[in-house]
């Protein structure tokens, strides 16, 4: 008997979903709803056993979008009523939620209270939870938090040097995000190396459209680049990462903008987009090869920030056994990995250029046998990690 888990990842205008059999860990269905909350018609794409089904209609809110997901399952299978649980990707757990949590009314109320910490991410997540609970009321729903893995960061790492009372009142601290991915990939890296995770000093580079690094000592996170929000740290597709905090006030004053407008500039119009007009690293590479100077500089800024954090983390870890690249850019952009690893020669990292340049979807080692540091590429699988978390939490 399969043990299907439905996974929902609700963004502000999209819903990604999968149904995975927790026993075989095989994908039973995968889909995407787009243009939720849009005045124009949205689309839903549903894939079962390699066969694709499409539909287009209006999704005024997440309720209609989730209803459309259920309709797709009812029409094209698999049977959604056989789902034993629903796992909801939930971005921000604040200080309240340190691990995956079964959702009840009180949990939803707490998530609503936490919305101020993640105004772009938590409200659509809550809308998705509400809609899914209405449609699938008889199975447990669990929230899997992006922040949970980093709940055990040391206080010296998560504390901002601001007024303590203010920090306490408004729950201001570093939380870290992409935790599900960092936890999964660091576990897979240990497995790949045939080592116990407790023996390893690791750095995981999750480089996707959003990007973050983590330093993991013996399986425990000791540092990560994202902060109170996912804006801090690395250069990302559209987010600036680290800037002087004084920039907010300066932009506000000089441009006569309110805080929301400054926030939008730094979240949506910065990063690689702001530097060279492109967010996708394939386009960045093409522009670089065409000799575009702004793009060359953008790539250098991207790598500079990454290498700086890696050096910082090696110091905090007191050494390094393994550096792993993952997510869309980490798994696919060989030139990014090359530019980073070439800067890490001092630490004894040596890249096998041929293996690095060979495309693959498999976990692989891209360092040479005599490299002092293992450099790996491990595909992330946040959905599988969520399924495992969901099963562990409901005790099935």
- The residues that are catalytic are 146
**What six digits make up the tokens of 348?**
């004894």
Instruction: Closer to ligand AMP by CB, 153 or 281: give it.
Output: 281
Is 299 an interacting residue with respect to ligand AMP (CB under 6 A)?
Answer: no
Give the residue carrying structure tokens 């522009």. 287
The response to whether 89 counts as a known ligand-binding position is: yes
Site for ligand AMP in 210-239 (CB under 6 A): 237
State which of residues 142, 333, 349, 385 lies at the interface with ligand AMP (CB under 6 A): 333
The response to whether 300 counts as a known ligand-binding position is: no
Is 241 an interacting residue with respect to ligand AMP (CB under 6 A)?
Answer: no
- Are the C-beta atoms of 5 and 85 separated by less than 8 Å? yes
- Closest contact distance (angstroms) between CB of 353 and ligand AMP is 17
Look at residues 308, 326, 321, 350 and name the one whose alpha carbon lies nearest to residue 204.
326
Q: Left if phi > 0, otherwise alpha if psi is -120 to 50, otherwise beta: which for 348?
A: left
CA distance 294 to 104: 50
State which of residues 48, 139, 228, 281 lies at the interface with ligand AMP (CB under 6 A): 281
State which of residues 280, 292, 342, 353 lies at the interface with ligand AMP (CB under 6 A): 280
Is 358 an interacting residue with respect to ligand AMP (CB under 6 A)?
Answer: no
The response to whether 374 counts as a known ligand-binding position is: no
Instruction: Closer to ligand AMP by CB, 101 or 224: give it.
Output: 224
Where are the strands (E) in the chain, listed by range?
4-10, 14-21, 27-34, 42-48, 51-57, 85-90, 101-102, 141-145, 201-207, 211-217, 220-224, 322-326, 364-365, 374-377
Look at residues 284, 311, 306 and name the one whose alpha carbon lies nearest to residue 235.
306
Crossing angle of helices 259-268 and 246-255, rounded to 10°? 110
Instruction: Closer to ligand AMP by CB, 117 or 327: give it.
Output: 327
State which of residues 171, 209, 267, 368 lies at the interface with ligand AMP (CB under 6 A): 209
CA distance 273 to 299: 11
Is 377 an interacting residue with respect to ligand AMP (CB under 6 A)?
Answer: no
3-state secondary structure 256-303: CCCHHHHHHHHHHCCHHHHHHCCCCHHHHHHHHHCCCHHHHHHHHHHH
**What six digits make up the tokens of 81?**
């009523």
State which of residues 42, 176, 328, 379 lies at the interface with ligand AMP (CB under 6 A): 328
The response to whether 293 counts as a known ligand-binding position is: no
Is 327 an interacting residue with respect to ligand AMP (CB under 6 A)?
Answer: yes
Look at residues 293, 168, 178 and name the one whose alpha carbon lies nearest to residue 239.
178
Task: With contacts defined by CB under 6 A, name the span among 53-61, 149-157, 273-281, 303-311 that binds ligand AMP.
Answer: 273-281
The response to whether 253 counts as a known ligand-binding position is: no
**Is residue 78 reached through a cis peptide bond, with omega within 30 degrees of 0 on the bond before it?**
yes
State which of residues 197, 216, 329, 391 lies at the interface with ligand AMP (CB under 6 A): 329
- Closest contact distance (angstroms) between CB of 329 and ligand AMP is 4
Instruction: Closer to ligand AMP by CB, 179 or 237: give it.
Output: 237
Task: With contacts defined by CB under 6 A, name the span among 48-56, 145-153, 278-286, 388-396 that binds ligand AMP.
Answer: 278-286
The residues that touch ligand AMP, with contacts defined as CB under 6 A, are 208-209, 237, 279-282, 327-329, 332-333
Mark the binding-site residues for Mg(2+), compressed into ranges: 9, 382
Mark the binding-site residues, compressed into ranges: 9, 16, 89, 206-210, 280-282, 328-332, 382
């Amino acid at each position: 008997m399969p043990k299907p888990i439905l996974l929902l990842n609700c963004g502000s205008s999209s819903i990604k979903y999968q149904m995975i059999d927790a026993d075989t860990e095989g994908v039973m269905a995968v889909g995407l709803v787009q243009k939720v909350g849009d005045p124009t018609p949205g689309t839903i794409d549903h894939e079962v056993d390699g066969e694709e089904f499409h539909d287009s209609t209006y999704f005024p809110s997440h309720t209609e979008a989730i209803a459309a997901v259920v309709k797709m399952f009812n029409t094209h299978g698999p049977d959604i009523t056989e789902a034993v649980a629903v796992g909801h990707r939930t971005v921000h757990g604040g200080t309240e939620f340190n691990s995956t949590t079964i959702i009840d009314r009180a949990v939803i109320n707490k998530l609503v209270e936490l919305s101020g910490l993640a105004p772009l991410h938590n409200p659509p997540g809550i809308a998705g939870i509400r809609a899914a609970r209405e449609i699938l009321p008889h199975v447990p729903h669990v929230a899997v938090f992006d922040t949970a893995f980093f709940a055990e960061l040391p206080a010296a790492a998560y504390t901002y040097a601001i007024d303590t009372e203010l920090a306490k009142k408004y729950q201001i601290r570093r939380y870290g995000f992409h935790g599900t991915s960092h936890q999964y990939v660091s576990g897979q890296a240990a497995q790949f190396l045939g080592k116990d995770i407790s023996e390893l000093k690791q750095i995981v580079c999750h480089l996707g459209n959003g990007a973050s690094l983590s330093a993991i000592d013996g399986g425990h996170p000791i540092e990560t680049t994202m902060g109170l929000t996912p804006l801090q740290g690395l250069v990302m597709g559209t987010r600036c990462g680290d800037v002087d905090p004084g920039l907010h006030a300066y932009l506000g004053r000089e441009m006569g903008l309110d805080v929301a407008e400054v926030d939008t500039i730094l979240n949506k119009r910065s990063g690689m987009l702001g530097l060279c007009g492109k967010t996708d690293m394939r386009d960045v590479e093409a522009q670089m090869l065409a000799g575009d100077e702004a793009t060359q500089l953008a790539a250098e800024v991207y790598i500079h920030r990454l290498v700086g954090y890696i050096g910082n983390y090696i110091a905090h870890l007191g050494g390094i056994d393994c550096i792993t690249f993952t997510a869309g850019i980490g798994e696919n952009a060989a030139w990014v990995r090359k530019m980073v690893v070439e800067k890490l020669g001092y630490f004894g990292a040596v890249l096998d250029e041929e293996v690095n340049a060979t495309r693959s979807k498999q976990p692989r080692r891209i360092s040479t046998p005599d490299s002092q540091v293992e450099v790996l590429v491990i595909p992330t699988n946040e959905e599988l990690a969520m399924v495992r978390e969901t099963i562990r939490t409901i005790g099935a």
